[in-house]
């Protein structure tokens, strides 16, 4: 089901400051700053934005909108971790890339240095 900003109007609207206080009460966490709740609405987290409405010069949200936001953030975070887990890992910074290793071994061979089998057995090694 797609949620729209209209849902917030159908629920009991509260100010972003009230939302910050309610978040702390409901989660047992220290009170949030209203600026944090504003940032959730404007910038979002992991592509998920808090649903808000603007009327009477105020920006409002609702408790159910906060709950939907938290659920969607958790879901987005899990899917992001799943994508990261499935992604092949890059070599650590500073590790030579495979083409660089191959070029170095070729230069050693061209210079007359004969590599011998490494201790691990998977890469030739030019040093003894």
pLDDT, one tens digit per residue, over 48-67 is: 999 998 878 888 899 999 99
Query: What confidence tens digit (pLDDT) does each residue in 15-47 have?
Result: 999 999 988 888 888 888 889 999 999 999 888
128 belongs to a structural domain: no
41 belongs to a structural domain: yes
40 belongs to a structural domain: yes
Q: What is the mean pLDDT of residues 115-124?
A: 54
Total tally of structural domains belonging to the chain: 1
Residue with tokens 């729209």: 4
Question: d(Cα 86, Cα 88) in Å, to the nearest integer?
Answer: 6
The burial class, CB within 10 Å (0-12 / 13-18 / 19+), for 68 is middle
Which of the pair, 39 or 4, is modelled with greater confidence? 39
127 belongs to a structural domain: no
Query: Which domain, by its residues, includes 48?
Result: 5-86
Q: What percent of the chain has pLDDT over 70?
A: 66
70 belongs to a structural domain: yes
């Amino acid at each position: 089901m797609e949620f729209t900003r209209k849902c917030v109007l159908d629920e009991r609207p509260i100010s972003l400051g009230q939302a910050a206080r309610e978040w702390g009460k409901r989660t047992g966490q220290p009170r949030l700053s209203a600026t944090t709740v504003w940032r959730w609405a404007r910038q979002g987290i992991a592509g998920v934005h808090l649903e808000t409405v603007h009327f009477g010069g105020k920006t409002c949200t609702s408790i159910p909108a906060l709950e939907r936001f938290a659920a969607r953030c958790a879901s987005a975070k899990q899917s992001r971790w799943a994508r990261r887990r499935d992604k092949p890992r890059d070599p650590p910074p500073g590790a030579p890339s495979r083409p660089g290793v191959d070029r170095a071994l070729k230069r050693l061979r061209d210079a007359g240095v004969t590599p011998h089998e490494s201790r691990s057995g998977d890469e030739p090694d030019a040093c003894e």
